[in-house]
A and B are shown apart, each in its own frame.
Chain A
Amino acid sequence: KQEVTQIPAALSVPEGENLVLNCSFTDSAIYNLQWFRQDPGKGLTSLLLIQSSQREQTSGRLNASLDKSSGRSTLYIAASQPGDSATYLCAVGSDNYGQNFVFGPGTRLSVLP
């Protein structure tokens, strides 16, 4: 059974810092991995989607990498801003039909002005 963990659980950084959020999964036989952002009381916004054949994806200040063999993904945020404050979740898809899309518990990020 796929298990997804995220470290750290919470992170507080000053504005302008570059930071890395970590996601680990136990079963490397995955279809894809998706990073989401969740603001308090809101739904999930998709940030980046990496297919199992890809090593990384980039969108603006965000870069997500995937190392299937080691069961890891990282989300790199460059030049963090207070508006980046949110909870970041990773989710791993283990089949092509979506029934086995497992979420990590999330990392709560606070960027201080």
Chain B
Amino acid sequence: SQTIHQWPATLVQPVGSPLSLECTVEGTSNPNLYWYRQAAGRGLQLLFYSVGIGQISSEVPQNLSASRPQDRQFILSSKKLLLSDSGFYLCAWSVSGEIRRGYTFGSGTRLTVV
């Protein structure tokens, strides 16, 4: 069966510090991968999606970047965090070319920038 792992679960970082959040998927190959952010009291916002290794599409211009160094690994990064980067970050995957199978989400990372 397929599983998705996301870590860390919580993170408190000072303004200006770097960020690295990791997401891995097991039990499938060539998944579509996504990073979402959920700010307090707001809906889910798609940040990045990837359809293959090294292929990253950005939905929202921001202080963040994403990379996909391996088929089932998706990393969200920042060189210098801003207060506005605080939020709940969720990784998700779907079967490539088969959105009819829906999305599966990770457990999320709560990021607080202080």
Contact = CB atoms under 8 A, between A and B. Distances in A.
Interface string B74-106: 000000000000001010101011111111111
**Closest 5 A/B residue pairs (Cβ):** A44-B105, A49-B102, A43-B107, A103-B44, A43-B108
Nearest to A31: B99
A105 B43 CA distance: 5
Contacts, number: 68
Of the listed residues A32, A93, A101, the one surrounded by the most CB atoms of chain B closer than 10 A to its CB is A101
B47 interface: no
Contacts of B32: 97-98
Query: How many of chain B's residues touch chain A, expressed as a range?
Result: 20 to 34
B28 to A, nearest CB: 14
B90 A99 contact: no
Interface of B: 6, 32, 34, 42-44, 46, 49, 51, 57, 88, 90, 92, 94, 96-108, 110
B5 to A, nearest CB: 11
Nearest to A36: B105
Contacts of A65: none
